[in-house]
Structure 1
């Protein structure tokens, strides 16, 4: 990937770290992206938010380079975390590139995509309902994945979607205390900041 290209508002340091082979550096970049997107949310600057998401999707998550794809996935998850309740406004842009990575030939990237989508869905909660069909299609592919880690990650995501659907169907979406309790009892990671691994 050409790190000399202008990816603003992403800084050259963020771009370099997103492309790094080390998870720790990509995680630092994700934290910087989260901070940047939070600033845009505070400024109500949806144009810059969309630009960051599109850059992460097109230049990173859909890149030919595996480390760039990993960086794009963790970056998209970081955007969702920063957006919080507003992530529903950008779900299509966040979800589509991650679902594309479900088809990657590298099983580790498929796992990272599953982990990124888990974090996006966890933040968006009920806002994912209009995207349920594409999420279900993606999950159905991963359920039969030959890699046990990918299969395990897809099962966690499947359980999270079931919890969300349960609360939507029972009109309990406003009670986040119960939501977190069910997720904790189900063995899912209660912290939405879980990053895309190395």
Structure 2
């Protein structure tokens, strides 16, 4: 008798499944097709983006080669084109390299370009700090120490990626301004930072030797 009930239950389940399929099959098929289309579209997007990145990488390398051959006008044009149309990573690098090319003919225009990058909140803090450092490097011989301090102080904190370069630029600027106390302040930070690169540490020690001895109390 139990076998009979089992067969009846099985028939009922099949009948219910058939009714469900007849009612919802179009939605099930449509859903499956949407998944297939979505996966295919995503794969296609990934392929296109990979192609764009590869093309941008090749164009960037070609622009670098032009710069190394001292074809700065051509390099500037190539980097400018990438800065306008390349994927985000290469676009950022191209903006920095465009400013570097411009610096060879118009330092003030390059400073403006670096300042624009430093003010761009859509990019990372590391890239912003790098732009600040490069702009300050161009201004070292002309800007006052207070101006340099305003530009670079935020990049000298212990967690800042380019703090070593920022501190060195501020030490040099203070030294140019005959501000011995400020010069020592930045040189001490350089000397006491265990991660200061050896070359920069050596330059700091050389500058330290030029300062008058500390007065004994």
TM-score of the aligned structures, taking structure 2 as reference length? 0.41
Greater RCO, CA 8 A, separation 6+: 1
State which structure, 1 or 2, has the greater radius of gyration over its C-alpha atoms.
2
More helix by share: 2
TM-score of the aligned structures, taking structure 1 as reference length? 0.44
